[in-house]
Amino acid sequence: MTIKTVLCFGDSNTFGYDPQGVASGTRFRYPVDVRWPGVLQGLLGPDWRIVEEGLCGRTTVHRDPFEGGLCGLDELPVALASTQPIDCIVLMLGTNDMKTCFNLAANDIARGVESLVLANKRFPWAVGCWEPMILVVSPPHIGEGVRNVVLSSFGEHSVRVSHEVAEAYRVVADEQGCAYLDASKVCEPSPIDHIHMTPQGHGELARAVAKAIGEMFSS
């Protein structure tokens, strides 16, 4: 039996940040069987290996002025090298590019995702490895209430641009020959912090990703 490997490369919504647990002081991260990569593993079954590579605060290509080590373009080659051979990459980044300190337009955020896709295409795969297929996922919307959160890194611009990126992501995916999924169509941000997904959202996203991967490998 040949086991297919899926690398899930993302930010805190792939890491499984638990807004309710953090607010109550009981838990920082959802359990593995609640996080969408873990749910995806259960949906796809033993013929698949799901590698969870989520990091809170991770951007596409930008360096956060307040925290270091969060640039996805710097970290993707390491993840590719340590996970290869890889059959599919699920790439869901961009929420942290919407922070007020970056003040980026939707097209510029999508260009960051495009840079990650191109980095995958340029990667020097080892003998016996191959270039994986990519599923580009545009992130969930940021909720209106985020502007009222004290010391939030997100504001009114963040909310607006979160509703604008999906089409730009779709164009990048089409131009680069990637599959595409709009996460905002299947899950919403938590009403607690207006950024991170609920357990229900993780489940819905996992089901949508599983369906997309099934279609990618059946064609």
- Average per-residue pLDDT for the chain: 96
pTM flag (> 0.85): yes
Q: Is the per-residue pLDDT at 94 higher than 90? A: yes
State the CB neighbour count (10 A cutoff) for residue 216.
15
Query: Quick one: pLDDT at residue 149?
Result: 77
Measured distance CA(114)–CA(38) in Å, rounded: 26
pLDDT band at 1 (very low <50, low <70, confident <90, very high): low
What's the alpha-carbon Rg for the chain, to the nearest Å?
16
b/e map 86-95, b = 16+ CB within 10 Å: bbbbbbbbbb
Residues near 160 by Cβ (< 8 Å), separated by ≥ 6?
A: none
State the CB neighbour count (10 A cutoff) for residue 208.
19
Q: Is the per-residue pLDDT at 150 higher than 80? A: no
Q: Is the per-residue pLDDT at 9 higher than 80? A: yes
Query: Quick one: pLDDT at residue 147?
Result: 77
| CATH code assigned to 4-218 | 3.40.50.1110
DSSP 3-state assignment of 174? helix
pLDDT (tens digit per residue) in 41-90: 999 999 999 999 999 999 999 999 999 999 999 999 999 999 999 999 99
Q: Is the per-residue pLDDT at 151 higher than 90? A: no
**Pairing of the two strands 88-92 and 48-54:** unpaired
Domain boundaries, the chain: 4-218
Query: Quick one: pLDDT at residue 148?
Result: 76
CA neighbours within 13 Å on the CB side: how many for 20?
8
pLDDT band at 163 (very low <50, low <70, confident <90, very high): very high
User: Distances from the Cα of 27 to the Cαs of 18, 22, 206, in angstroms?
Assistant: 7, 6, 22
pLDDT (tens digit per residue) in 186-205: 999 999 999 999 999 999 99
Q: Determine the length of the chain.
A: 219
Q: What average pLDDT does this structure show over 211-218?
A: 96
